[in-house]
Each structure stands twice: as structure tokens, then as C-alpha cells.
Amino acid sequence: MSQQQEYLVLARRYRPQRFQEVVGQEAVITTLQNALSLQRTAHAYLFAGCRGVGKTTLARLFAKALNCSSRGEGVEPCNECPSCQEIQRGQSLDVIEIDGASHRGIDDIRLISETALYAPMAGCYKIYIIDEVHMLTKEAFNALLKTLEEPPERAKFLLATTEPHKVPATILSRCHRFELKRISSADLVQKLDAICRDLSRSVDTQALHLIASFAEGSLRDAESLLDQLLAFAEGPLTAEIARSALGLVSQELFFSLDQAFSKADCTFAFRLVETLFVAGKDPIHFFTQLIEHVRLLCIARISGTEALPLPSEEAQLFADSARLYLPAQCLYLLDYLLRTEMQLSKSASPRTALEGALLHYIQSKHRIPPEVLIRRLSELEASWKAGEEKPPAPSASKQEVQGPVGKTDVDKVKSQVPTSVDSSFTEKKRCETIMRFAAVELEGNLIQ
Ligand SMILES: [Zn+2]
């Protein structure tokens, strides 16, 4: 591409021109190619999936292959014949693209029904690609249904939607339906890496992983982000540059939080929030990143380092940090953060809310996991039953109580227990009260 030429965004410049260039939709491609090679194509297809996973790209490729004059027995469009070239430039008279969001009325669809009756100009088929088809009005859907019920012989309808549940069942039942999946991080990284190599730009793998995690399975989002970051970084694109351009907090801060958790150092909560505010970081954005951090810790702790969607060096850092937590603690924190996220976004003073949440995060180091509580309770119960036959040894059971339940709960228990009664009665009351506290703490998870 010469410097004078208009700049093409990466998503358009690297749009697949052949089925084999499409990332991550193997099952759909195999089915489409089989239909092409067996010459058994349906009249209508529906491509459903999230944004940026390749719905319209696949529809265009399929249209190109259907009308390609030099495809022969093959399954790929030639990209050289007049029909392929015209479709590529968006100038084909036989392939008509309609944006369902802006052409949603009955007149727009009627026009399709009428023109579909005419024979194609040059290609084999008259092909209508209707994007965001779920946006059509009820009347427009009815008109489309009529056409689909008795489709003109040489017309094909390729519908694309992000919300298939909004498409009437009568339309769905007349379409061959494809569910496009989100593109995996590994596939996204591979594609971005190929683009960077083609552009002769030096980019850290870690930065590509960062972009992939941000894009949430959408190739178009990933390519747009890469576009922005390449424009932002003059030299090589490092993970640090990517973080700062994306407004992300440095990874170091999260690893320091893991250390603070392991030492139960509550003062770190205030220091961390101060650092964030001085740097002008958004607390909600930080919290989202924290959730992702804990999610990765959970994966490392439960499924192992190899399950982390990260380059090996970074995965090792997570594995080291994850060892500071028990699996139950990771799960509890993830659950807590997800529950707190909504409250934080609604809070009138996000700084204080964030400090409170981080204090709770660090303090939960001392939280007793339910399974330990249940075990200790069973032991207490057993000792209580044994005490009905003979009074339990007071010193041993006292230790039993103080060990699992923690200082605060023991204090509460003590305040409820009369001091001037015999030791067996005291022990019974103590057990009952602890059981009640535990039941509250376990939120009804206690079976007996
Ligand atoms: Zn061709």
C-alpha cells in the first residue's frame, strides 16, 4: 500500500477473502463448503453470533463463492473473476447488502421481494445479505416470510443477527441456521501476531494477550484495538504501553494486593486507593480489572498454570501469586467481587466504597472456609453428645471452640453464656450458640 492511498482500518484491510483465512469458525465453514461442493445450497441461511465474529464476512464469502465463475469443483472463490472483483468492491448488482437496522420497514423488504423475481445480471444467483435482521419491523418480517415461503429459484437470502431470539420462529424455521462462536484468545493472538508481522511492527506477545482479553472473542474489536495501539506506540508496542493506552492499572499493583492479602496487611487497602486516585484511575475500571485478576488466580489455583490463557512468563507470575490463596478463598473472593461490583458503580462515594471493598478483600484472609467450620462443628457436636453421658473435659473443648470460630464470635458467645453454672451446662449452651452463629455464617448451607 502506498503512503498516498487512503488508510484502511486493519479490520477491513485484513478481512478474509477466502474461507481458509477465516479465524475460529471451522464447523460453519465445513458445512458451507460441503454445500458448495455438493451443490446443495439452501435458499436462506441465518448467521447468528456476537459482534465481530465473522457473520457478514462469512455471508459475503459464501455469496462470492456462489457467484464465482471460475470456482469449478473447488470450494474457494477465485477472487479474480469479474463477479468476485465486483463483490469485493461492493459493486455487484447481483449481491445486495441491506442494513436491517436502517432499512427495517415493509417498503424496503417489498423492494427485495420484487427485485428477487428478476434473473441475476451476471452471476448464477441474486443474493440478498440482510445484516442485523432482528431489527426489521413486524410487517417487514411478514413480507420477508412470504418471499421465503416461495423463494424465487435463483435467489438466496443470507441473514445475519446478533440477537436470533428476536427473529420470528416462522423465519427461523425456513433458514439453515449457523451459530458462530466467540473466537478463542489463542486464535485472536495468532491472527493479531500475523497482522503485526505483515506490517513489520514489533509487538510483545503480552500486549497481544492483553488486547485479546479486552476483545472478548470479537476479532473486529481486537483488530480495532490493535489499530489504536499501533498508532499510539511509535516504536515497539510493549505490554506497558498497551496498559497505559488502555487506561489499565499496572499488573504490579494486583500482585502487591496478593502479597497484602497473604500478610493480612489492611493498611495496603488505603495506600492502593490513594495510588489509584493520584494517578487518576477510574475505580470501576480498576474493579473490573481486579475481577479479571482474581478469575485468573482461580484458574491457576483450580485448573493449574497450563490452563491460563497467558504467555508462559506471565502465567508463572499468576501461579506464584495464586499460591498465596486457598482454592476456597479464591472462589469466595471472586463471588464477593462480583456481588460488590454493582454496589460500587452505584455508590455516591466510590473512593470510600472501594476502600471498604479492598479492606474486606484483605481481611477475608482470616475468614474460615465453610468446610472447616462444618468439620469443627461436627467435632463439637460429637463432644457435646459424649458430654450427655459424662461431662466433657473443659480444657480440651475450650480449645475446640476458640480455634475455628475466631475471637469476635467467641466474645459474643461468652456474653450470652452465664458464668455461674456447672461446666456441662455451659458447654451445651456454648455449643448451641456456636451452631446458631455457624448456621448464619453458612447461610443455610449446613445440612444437619
Ligand atoms: Zn471468482
Q: State whether 191 and 256 are in the same domain.
A: no
Query: What was the pLDDT predicted at 7?
Result: 78
Of 225, 245, 265, which residue constitutes the final position of a domain? 245
Interval between CA 45 and ligand 1 midpoint (Å): 21
Q: State whether 377 and 357 are in the same domain.
A: no
Residue 3 covered by a domain? no
CATH of the domain at 277: 1.20.272.10
Q: Which triple of cell numbers denotes residue 51?
A: 459482534
CATH of the domain at 194: 1.10.8.60
Q: State whether 400 and 339 are in the same domain.
A: no
Residue 351 covered by a domain? yes
Query: What was the pLDDT predicted at 190?
Result: 95
Pairing of strands 95-99, 126-131: parallel
Q: State whether 25 and 166 are in the same domain.
A: yes
Q: State whether 37 and 164 are in the same domain.
A: yes
Q: State whether 192 and 175 are in the same domain.
A: no
Query: What was the pLDDT predicted at 168?
Result: 96
Of 366, 396, 417, which residue constitutes the final position of a domain? 366
Query: What was the pLDDT predicted at 399?
Result: 41
SS3 call for 235: coil
Interval between CA 61 and ligand 1 midpoint (Å): 11
Domain limits at 112? 10-179
Query: What was the pLDDT predicted at 309?
Result: 81
Q: State whether 338 and 436 are in the same domain.
A: no
Q: State whether 227 and 356 are in the same domain.
A: no
Name the nearest CA neighbour of 161 among 142, 148, 175: 175
How many domains are contained in the chain? 4
Interval between CA 58 and ligand 1 midpoint (Å): 16
Q: State whether 352 and 432 are in the same domain.
A: no
Residue 5 covered by a domain? no
Residue 4 covered by a domain? no
Q: Which residue has the cell 506497558?
A: 240
Interval between CA 304 and ligand 1 midpoint (Å): 48
* Model confidence, pTM: 0.73
Write out the H or E segment, with its range, that includes residue 129: strand 126-131
Interval between CA 40 and ligand 1 midpoint (Å): 19
Residue 269 covered by a domain? yes
Q: State whether 389 and 262 are in the same domain.
A: no
Q: What's 368's DSSP letter?
A: P
Q: Long-range pairs for 257-264 at CB < 8 Å and ≥24 separation?
A: 257/290, 257/293, 257/358, 257/361, 257/362, 258/297, 258/321, 258/324, 258/325, 259/324, 260/362, 261/324, 261/325, 261/361, 261/362, 261/364, 261/365, 262/324, 262/325, 262/365, 264/362, 264/363, 264/365, 264/366
Interval between CA 91 and ligand 1 midpoint (Å): 14
Q: State whether 354 and 391 are in the same domain.
A: no
d(CA 251, CA 367): 26
Interval between CA 323 and ligand 1 midpoint (Å): 57
Interval between CA 26 and ligand 1 midpoint (Å): 22
Query: What was the pLDDT predicted at 418?
Result: 47
Interval between CA 53 and ligand 1 midpoint (Å): 24
Residue 219 covered by a domain? yes
d(CA 167, CA 159): 10
Interval between CA 81 and ligand 1 midpoint (Å): 4
Interval between CA 72 and ligand 1 midpoint (Å): 10
Q: Which triple of cell numbers denotes residue 424?
A: 456441662
Interval between CA 130 and ligand 1 midpoint (Å): 22
Adjacency order of strands within the sheet including 176-179: 95-99, 126-131, 155-161, 44-48, 176-179
Query: What was the pLDDT predicted at 398?
Result: 40
Interval between CA 356 and ligand 1 midpoint (Å): 63
Residue 417 covered by a domain? yes
Interval between CA 129 and ligand 1 midpoint (Å): 18
Q: Could you report the average pLDDT of every consecutive run of 10 residues in the chain (448 residues)?
A: 65 92 94 93 95 94 94 89 92 92 91 88 91 95 94 94 95 96 93 95 92 90 94 89 86 93 94 90 90 94 88 88 92 94 90 94 85 78 71 45 44 48 69 72 51
Q: State whether 330 and 426 are in the same domain.
A: no
Residue 325 covered by a domain? yes
